[in-house]
Structure 1
Amino acid sequence: MDNKGKIDNAKKTLLGVSIGDAFGDSFFGETDEILQKIASREIPETKWEFTDDTIMSIAIFEELEESGEINQDNLIKRFYTNHDLDANRGYGATLRRLLREIKEGQNWKDVSKSIFDGQGSMGNGAAMRACPIGAYYFENIQKVKEFATKSAEVTHSNIEAITGALAISIGTALTTKMKSENQLLSPIEFIDKILEELPDSDTKSKISKSKSIPYNYQIETVKSILGNGTNMTAQDTVPFAVWCTAYNLENFEEALWKAVSILGDRDTICAMVGGMTIMSTKTENIPKKWITKVEKFETSIFRTQK
């Protein structure tokens, strides 16, 4: 595929990320009321603004757009520059501190490794922004893995976070390839193809465990097994996102309703699921009103090359 086709793929997954992100973010509120909205498939009143999930995905997209690679020094600069353009987009306290310290001159390698007493962050932030890599390099899984790892390392040096980024980027590569080759994987095939590329980790183990969970299980049971992002770690977020995607490869809308039903870190989970499923879904299963209403990443303040 030529470079324009790769960029178009990355833009499409960004659309899915932004819709999922804004959609999920609209479901924070009083639990009983939110559950009622979900049961009736009614989106709460919302501005359809995306959060840091999309903003950081834009930075990765622009790295690929500019050079077809991930330059880690450039990427971290994009991250802290975009953070400063609007800091009120859901950034976590640890990431805020990391970006500030790097902006002030500290080496990102040292700062990233120092997080959590030298363990590095195992947060879900590296995974939430990884979709553009999979969409851009779907024909080359080794490139996907190389650049997903690089994109994670600048803020998340822990193996769990890196595994999460690998899983979501590989999942996006698979859904992009499915659409390109007009094929459909079964849920188990989809999960297995991701698993065979992942390093040993708790995140990988929980993704593997997801193969034994039927889609019609009570959502509370699914949450007890796979997590829902409440802890904001990769191993508490990515397994459910992969499982939800695996069973909705052709249905973007159903995927997001299922994703938000588990509550937890709903904007991040929906961003991941949206970014993956939009690449393989049927066109009629992408609500046009969602595309129309969501904040436009192409004309946002976070987009440097408009």
Structure 2
Amino acid sequence: MTTPPPAALDSLQGLAFGDAFGDRWFGILRRDGVAALDERALPPEPLWRWSDDTAQAVVLVRELAEGGGAVDQDRLALRFATAYADDTHRGYGASMHDVLRRIGDGEPWRDVVAGQFDGQGSWGNGAAMRVAPLGAWHADDLDAVAEQAARQGAVSHHHPEAVAGAVAVALAAALATRGRGGPAPAQPDFLWAVADLLPDSDVRSGIRIAARMPERTSVRHAAEVLGSGYRMSGPDTVPYALWCAAGHLDDLQEGLWRTVAGRGDIDTTCAIAGGVIAARTGVAALPSAWHTAREPLPPVVAQ
């Protein structure tokens, strides 16, 4: 068993804060509309529960700890299925209900995920939502980041765009980790650095578009151009979430407020942004009210 690096644990905590914070806003926005965001009042009680984004991120960090930083795909698939069976009420998407139940029933995971959506596989954002801590874990080796992010992504998402989204988020978290203690790069510079490490894909194209956006681009415009997860795909989730993170690499709280303002799949966009930013900043600067409100995480390694 390997102890997770501090940056990976920071990233996991930031991911969980983003996930739980974003998830609480779904109901508020349905009830009160986007004007509620202008007041910047924290979501009220009850506890901010995290969703499947965090549940799977915890599983992934546990897998990395057991594997010495490497992903064993067969073991990870079973870990995801077991975590799902233990708590099915974490907001899993419809296709993941099917995938994880079938894997839990003993079907080979490769056959299950490759057969989704008429053999195309899912191009959803689930492989990206959980992966930031992996990028922080392997920040010293960007080749390992890309390889291990793709390996974990393929366990649940067969479509290459879903895997590309996961690799992009992991690389962003790795670059954020590398910058700990130094000045934050400019937003476009950070996004170009991520895009330049990716193969051709719709995800890469979206990040390149994000990097070209003028400094004063509004959240609303960025969300409309890049997509903020309404389609719950890698290409329409990851570029926006990374645009938000890149603009607030030294301020986790502001980064999450900006991300949630784009609406869309807000637990996932906030989880991605939170995981990337916290890989650099940690979570200690968040106000105590945030720490009190968010559901605690389970242990990620045996106590």
TM-score range, shorter chain: over 0.9
Give, in angstroms, the shift of residue 213 of structure 1. Answer: 1.7
Partner of 2:278: 278
Identity of counterpart residues, as a percentage?
36
Give, in angstroms, the shift of residue 146 of structure 1. Answer: 0.9
Q: Helix, strand or coil: the match of 1:117?
A: coil
Distance 2:188 2:3 in 1: 29
Distance 2:74 2:284 in 1: 40
TM-score when normalising by structure 2: 0.94
Distance 1:69 1:143 in 2: 9
Give, in angstroms, the shift of residue 222 of structure 1. Answer: 1.5
Distance 1:44 1:293, change over 3 A: closer
1:7 aligns with 2:16: no
Q: Helix, strand or coil: the match of 1:179?
A: coil
**Mapped contact 2:10–2:282 kept (Cα < 8 A):** no
Match runs of 1:5-84 below 5 Å: 6-29=4-27, 30-31=29-30, 33-46=32-45, 47-67=47-67, 68-84=69-85
Distance 1:42 1:34, change over 3 A: farther
**Mapped contact 1:250–1:282 kept (Cα < 8 A):** no
1:262 aligns with 2:259: no
Distance 2:256 2:183 in 1: 22
What is the letter of the counterpart of residue 14 of structure 1? L
Deviations 1:22-54 (A, max 9, x none): 000010124461423210101222411100000
Q: Helix, strand or coil: the match of 2:221?
A: helix
Give, in angstroms, the shift of residue 4 of structure 1. Answer: 7.1
**Mapped contact 2:21–2:43 kept (Cα < 8 A):** no
Q: Helix, strand or coil: the match of 2:179?
A: helix
**Mapped contact 2:189–2:211 kept (Cα < 8 A):** no
Give, in angstroms, the shift of residue 125 of structure 1. Answer: 0.3
Deviations 1:32-79 (A, max 9, x none): 614232101012224111000000000110011112211111111111
Partner of 1:97: 98
**Mapped contact 1:16–1:278 kept (Cα < 8 A):** yes
**Mapped contact 2:14–2:271 kept (Cα < 8 A):** yes
1:140 aligns with 2:127: no
Give, in angstroms, the shift of residue 282 of structure 1. Answer: 7.7
**Mapped contact 2:210–2:226 kept (Cα < 8 A):** yes
State the 4+ residue runs in structure 1 displaced beyond 6 angstroms: none
1:111 aligns with 2:112: yes
TM-score when normalising by structure 1: 0.93
Which of 27-36 and 71-80 deviates more? 27-36
For structure 1, the 5+ residue unaligned runs are none
For structure 2, the 5+ residue unaligned runs are none
Distance 1:97 1:55 in 2: 17
Give, in angstroms, the shift of residue 234 of structure 1. Answer: 0.4
Distance 1:87 1:205, change over 3 A: same
Give the length in aligned residue pairs. 300
Deviations 1:249-293 (A, max 9, x none): 101111000000011100000000001111223877422321233
Give, in angstroms, the shift of residue 6 of structure 1. Answer: 4.5
Distance 1:125 1:296 in 2: 21
